[in-house]
Amino acid sequence: MKKMIRKLAALMLALVMVLGCAAASATSVDVAVKVDGEAVKGLLGGFGMPEEMQAPVDTIAGLLSALDVKVVTEPDGGEITLGLAGTEALKAGFASTEDGLAFVSTLIPNYILTIRRETVQQMLQEVLAKIPGLGAIMGAANGEGAGIAVPESLSAYVQKIMMAVMGGMVMGTPEQGEFVFEGLTFDTKAPMFMDMPKVTESLKTTLDEMFQDESILEMFHTFTGMLGDSAPSVEDIKKGVAEFLDHMPETVTVDYYSSTAMPGAFYMTGEAAYAQQEGPAFTYAVLSANGDVKIDFNIAENNIAITLAIVPNRLTLKFQAGEAFYVILDGSVVMEDTQVFTVNLCVNSESPMVTVTVGIGQDGARTLPVEKGEKTEVPIEDLMNGGSLPEGFMNDVLTNAAPLLANPDIAKLLALFTPVTTVTVETPVSVDGE
């Protein structure tokens, strides 16, 4: 019982940490999540779902389609609401108090759970100790001097790397003409190619110098230490960089198109190839015009295509592997008094499988009051130390959970996990009329 209570308390604390990060500012944050169960089912079917799994998947798909999740956070607390088919099914809220945190829920309307600030800090330390790097990351976020210290010399090495790449560029003879791409017309083509042996040698020299810099090594040691025992060592990183440089393409070509009628706009396309390999290793195309950016990257050998499109207040990323699988991540933002961010995830379909909407600055105030009032206080510390729940607590939970469990979608899901007992009745068989 004590372990279970501690796990539940840790779960609530983790939720508070997640919501609290969003509520760190002085404005409210409203998050809504919607899942298309039919799209999930279609994806699983595309992966060859066994026939015996059809009924459970149908049930889960129906539940996902009916489920609505809404999270509201404010500087002093937050609230999560679960809805089913447009009807509110469950709501829980928390708020900071003078002594710690208080939790309420529609499942236990007559009770309020409390936990002292000292206990929260102790449990937080336990959580941070179990997740490599989280403590350092949170310390840096809180301005406590933890995290990765970025040395001043890093920017100089980055500039040297960029200069190494640019220094290997060999310009060809520009051509005048009419070149049309993506519906835009350009009048100048500048062919060029990369002197890859020169680029590779320059990169090796710069990276060798960088890996001898004590401040850079300290940064890598801090980073790998944050990732725990499974993290690569600095030597592993150096070896990986060396192997990457040893397998650079032999040739990289670039065709750069510009237009006197569209200052700043350009279209750049090219390919990279290995001497011993037939056909290009990868091709790329970059378009930048009128505030829009589109990048296409194709790896021929693995039949992988990546497209990134950026227009004002919108970003779309598509990853495609072969003809049978692709993923689209489509995000947009409305920058008004209320900033609304919407992210759609599509898998093998143009319709979203998951839609997440985040509103910042809108009126997302909690509707579930986190106040003691007539409620009975249940200190979590007492339960963790072996104390028992109040006599009517579980009755409160069961009474208020009954409508939720009676929901058709929930009932179907529960039925999947309810064992069916078969009773066999033996009937005497008559032989020769006896």
User: What's the Cα-to-Cα distance from 303 to each of 278, 286, 325, 400, 407, rounded to whole Å?
Assistant: 15, 19, 11, 54, 46
- pTM here? 0.68
Q: Is residue 307 a contact partner of residue 294, using CB atoms and an 8 Å limit?
A: yes
pLDDT value, residue 144: 46
Q: Over the chain, what is the mean pLDDT?
A: 80
How confident is the model at residue 247, as a pLDDT? 86
For residues 42 and 38, what is the distance between their CA atoms, to the nearest angstrom? Answer: 6
Q: Categorize the per-residue pLDDT at 119 as very low, low, confident or very high, splitting at 50, 70 and 90.
A: confident
pLDDT classification of 190: cutoffs 50, 70, 90: very high
pLDDT tens, 195-212?
A: 999 999 999 999 999 988
pLDDT at 123: 78
196 neighbors 271 (Cβ within 8 angstroms): no
Structure token digits, residue 53: 């799994």
Angle formed at CA 313 by CA 307 and CA 316, multiple of 5 degrees = 20
* % of the chain residues with pLDDT over 70: 78
Cβ(281)–Cβ(273) below 8 Å: yes
Q: What is the helix, strand, coil percentage profile of the chain, to 5?
A: 35, 35, 30
Query: Which residue's entry shows tokens 């693995």?
Result: 302
| Tens digits of residue pLDDT in 305-331 | 999 999 888 999 999 998 778 999 999
What pLDDT sits at residue 129?
A: 64
| pLDDT exceeds 80 at position 238 | yes
Q: What is the pLDDT averaged over residues 215-230?
A: 72
Phi-psi region of 264 (alpha: psi -120 to 50; beta: other; left: phi over 0): left
In tens, the pLDDT along 154-175 reads 889 999 999 998 888 899 999 9
